[in-house]
Structure 1
Amino acid sequence: MPYAAITYDIKSGYEDEVAEIFGSFRRPDSSVVPGEDGAPAGRILATAVFVRDSTLVRFIEYEGDLTAVARFMARQPGVREVERRLAPYTNTPRDTATVEGFVRTFQDSLLRCVSQLSVPRS
Structure 2
Amino acid sequence: MPFAAITYDIKPGCEKELTEIFGNFRRVRGSSVTDDAGREAGTILATAVFLRDDTLVRVIEYTGDLDAVARHMASQPGVREVERKLKPYLTRPRDTDTPEGFVATFRRSLLTTVAEISIRDRA
Q: What TM-score does the superposition give when structure 2 sets the normalisation length?
A: 0.97
Q: Aligned partners of 2:55 and 2:29: how far apart in 1?
A: 28
Residue 109 (structure 1) shift? 0.2
Q: Aligned partners of 1:104 and 1:43: how far apart in 2?
A: 20
SS of 1:30 mapped into structure 2: coil
Q: Which residue of 2 aligns with 1:83?
A: 83
Q: Which residue of 2 aligns with 1:105?
A: 105
Q: Which residue of 1 aligns with 2:64?
A: 64
Q: Which residue of 2 aligns with 1:31?
A: 31
Q: Aligned partners of 1:119 and 1:84: how far apart in 2?
A: 36
Counterpart amino acid of residue 3 in structure 2? Y
Residue 59 (structure 1) shift? 0.3
| Count of aligned pairs between the two proteins | 122
Q: Aligned partners of 2:87 and 2:113: how far apart in 1?
A: 26
Percent identity between matched residues is: 64
Consecutive unaligned residues in structure 2, runs of 5 or more: none
Q: Which residue of 2 aligns with 1:52?
A: 52
CA RMSD of aligned residues (A): 1.2
After the TM superposition, which segments of 4 or more aligned residues of structure 1 sit over 3 Å from their partners? none
Tell me, yes or no, if the aligned pair for 2:29 and 2:76 is still in contact at 8 Å.
Answer: no
The superposition leaves residues 62-117 of structure 1 with CA deviations (integer Å, 9 ceiling, x where unpaired) of 00000000000000000000000000000000000011100000000000000111
Q: What TM-score does the superposition give when structure 1 sets the normalisation length?
A: 0.97
SS of 2:44 mapped into structure 1: strand
Q: Aligned partners of 1:101 and 1:120: how far apart in 2?
A: 34
Q: Which residue of 1 aligns with 2:95?
A: 95
